[in-house]
Amino acid sequence: MSILITVNREQFVLRDPDAITRVRAEIEDAARSGGRMLVIGDTADGPEVLVTPSTNVRIDILPLDSPDPGTSDDRDEIVFVDFDEY
């Protein structure tokens, strides 16, 4: 399962189940505690974002796609989705 996390206007795709569980819990804790910087990503060196009670956060489950033959497997990488490019 992969999820798309939108924090204000920044979007992040997570694929690792442990990271999904961790980030979801940390977002809730940060909002309840008044705010905190969180690492959003499958690894500890992912980007940091400030999550406060007024931060707009949306979590969407992405559909499962079967991998195309001949494409690289980038499951360990975080993907930044920038829809302004398209």
Q: What is the pLDDT of residues 49-66, one digit of tens each?
A: 999 999 999 999 988 765
Residue pair 74/14 in contact by the 8 Å Cβ criterion: no
For strand 48-51 and strand 36-39, is the pairing parallel, antiparallel, or unpaired?
Answer: antiparallel
Terminal-to-terminal C-alpha distance of the chain: 25
Task: Give the pair of three-digit tokens for residue 57.
Answer: 């956060």
Q: What is the pLDDT of residues 25-54, one digit of tens each?
A: 999 999 999 999 999 988 888 899 999 999
